[in-house]
Structure 1
C-alpha cells in the first residue's frame, strides 16, 4: 500500500499527466495484491469504468456549450446582465457574475465560462478603469458557478459512480450556485467605493432590460429546456444533453447564423479531445479505485476519521478541509473519482443524505478550480490576459473566503442544501 502511495506522489511530482499517474499506480496496486495474474483485470476494469450510459451526457453538454459559445450568445448575455445591474457601482463586475450564473445553465463547465467571459469582459472592464488582476479575479470567482448550477459534468460523474440521482444533484446545485452569485456580488459592492469602481450605465432602464432580454430570449431558453426536461422526468440527463446539442445547432446555424458546418466539425474534434482526457482519467481511476476497495482503504479512512471524533459536525469539517486541500493540488475530476467511494462510505455512516453529500463534495472540489497552485480557471485567465497568476490570486482572496463560507453553510444547513430537491422533485 505504501509503495503505491509513494509511486503516486512521485509520478505527480515529476509532472506525468494525471490519467497516466492513475493508470500506472492502479496497475502497481494490482501487481501488489496478485502479481501478474491480476494484470488481466486491468483491461476489464478500464472498460467497466466507462461502461455507464449516463457518462454520455458529458460530451453532449460539452459540445452544446461549445456551440452556444461560438454562436455569439456571450455578447447578448453580457448586454442583458449589464442592463440589469450596470447602474450599480462596479456595474461591469456585477454583470460578469450574473452572466456567469446564466451561462452556467448552458455549459456546466467552469473553464468554458472563464474563457468566454475572460475574452469578452476582462478587456471591457480594464478599459473602464478596473485593474486587470481584479477583472480576472471576478471572472475566475464567477466561473465556478458553471459546474455548480446544472448542468454540471462533475455531478454527472458523481451520480454515475455512486448511483445517486443526477436529477437530485442538479436540483441541489441551484441554491448554492445562486448563493455564490449573491456572495460574489456582495464582495464587489463592499469593495466598490474603496477601489473606485465605475458604473457602466448612468441609470436603471426597464426599456433597456426589455430590449436586451428580447435579444437574449432564445439562448435563455436553453437551461429551461435542459432543467425542465430532467426535473419533470420527461427525459434523462443524457437525453437532455442530446436535446441541448440539437437546440444549440439550430440556434447557431439557422437562427443566429453564426455557426457553420465546418465550425461544428471543429467543435466536435475539440469536444472529443476534452472528453477523451476526462474519460482517460475516469477509466484509469477505476483501476485504482478497485484496488483501494480490495485493500479496504475507504473503511480504513473512515476508521481514522472516527478515531478523531464521532461527532457528525467534526467529521463534516474534516471532510471539507481534506477536499479543499486536495482541490488545490489535484485535478478535480481525478480527485472526485478517487475520493467519491471513500467519502461516500464515510458520509453514509454519519447519516448524510447521498444527494447532500454529493453537492458538498462537488462544491468543495469546484472551489479548487480557483485556488492556486493548480486552479484550472486561474491558468485560463493567465493565458488569455497575460496577467501573472500571483497578481490574480491576491485579488481573488475575498471571493475565495465568501465561497468557502457558502460551502460551509450548505454543508451544515441540511434543510437549505436539500431545498432544491424537495421543491422541484417532490
Structure 2
C-alpha cells in the first residue's frame, strides 16, 4: 500500500525544508546552532502542519545523534523514565547527546513534565517539544525556564506554491501523472497554511483520477472533492482552528445562537475544555473589555469552575459564559490602547522617566532630584492632582480612546472631570 503523499514528501534535509526562514534560513538562530553541531533544549510552538516534527527529525539526522520520540497523548511517566534510562545507557559510544522529541507536550500533566526536569538539567537528553498551544499556559515554569521557545508560522502563499511544485514534479508517483494546475485559490484556502493539509487535499484530488486521465486542478474541483470527503482535510480535528475562530467571531458579533452552536460543535468534537475557556478569557478582555468589566470576571470564574467540576458538567459553565459574553456590550478600547502604546514604544524607544516619577531609594538619587516635586495624589481633594506622568516627548499624547458604551461613557465623563483638557 502506497504511503500518503505527506509522508512521501517529508523533507530529510534543511535545504528541502519549506518555510520558517526566521528560524532555519541562512544565518537564523536554529540554523546557526545546527551548523555548529550544538543545540540546547527548546520548544517549537505553532499550528498543525508547519513542520515541527519534521524539523526535529532533520536536526537529529544532521547532528547524527540518537532520536527518541514520545507522544504526550499515549505516553506516561513510566514511558518517559524508560526513554531517559535508554539515553543514559551506552553514552561513551555516542557522538552527541540524544534528542528526546515530545509531540503535543502541552498534553503532559505536571508529574509527566516533572519527570523530564532532571534529564534536561543534567544534559542526559536534549528536549525538543512540539505544541500547538501557548507554552506559557501549558508547560510548567521549571521546564520552560530550561528551554527556549521558537514560534513557527503558518506557511505563506509562496511556500505553498513551492510545496505544490515539489509534489507534482518530484514525488515518484505524481510526476508520472498528467497534472495541470489552473487555479490554486481553493487549494490554498482550504489548506490554511498547513503543509500536511495541502498534501492530503492533493492526494485526494489526484487519487480519484482514472488511469492515463489528464488531471485538472482548479477551484471548483477542489471544492467538490472536499465536500464529498470532509474527513480527508480534517484529519485528527485540524479544523478546530476554523471552529474556534467562528466561535470567537460569533461572540464578538453579539450572536449568542451562533456562539452556542460553535461551542456545541467543539464539545461534540472532543475539544479540550481548557482550550475553550482560555479563549473565553481572551475574548472577554479583547472584545468586551471596559464596556462590561464583569465579563472578564465571568470568564475567569468559568475557567476556575471548569478545573473544579470537570466534565461533562463543565459544558454548562462554558455555555453560561459563552451566552453572557455574546450578549454583552462590546468594546476593544483596551486592546486598541495597548497596541497603540506598544507601537509608540517601538517608534520612540526607551524614553527617560520624568525625574519627579523616579524612585529614590538612595541619598545620591535624592541629590540628583529623583522623585523631587512628585505630588502624592491622596493628599489632594478627590485623590487627584494634575501632573505629568508620560515622558516629556509624549506628554500631549492620547492613547486610550473611550468607545461609546454606557460603562465607558461614565469612565470618560469621570476622566474629563479630573483632567479638564483631556478626554473631551
TM-score of the alignment, normalized to the shorter chain, above 0.5: no
Which entry has the higher C-alpha Rg, 1 or 2? Answer: 2
Return the structure number with greater relative CO, CA threshold 8 A, min gap 6. Answer: 1
Give the number of the structure whose residues are more often helix, by fraction. Answer: 1
TM-score by length of 2: 0.26
Give the number of the structure whose residues are more often strand, by fraction. Answer: 2
TM-score by length of 1: 0.26
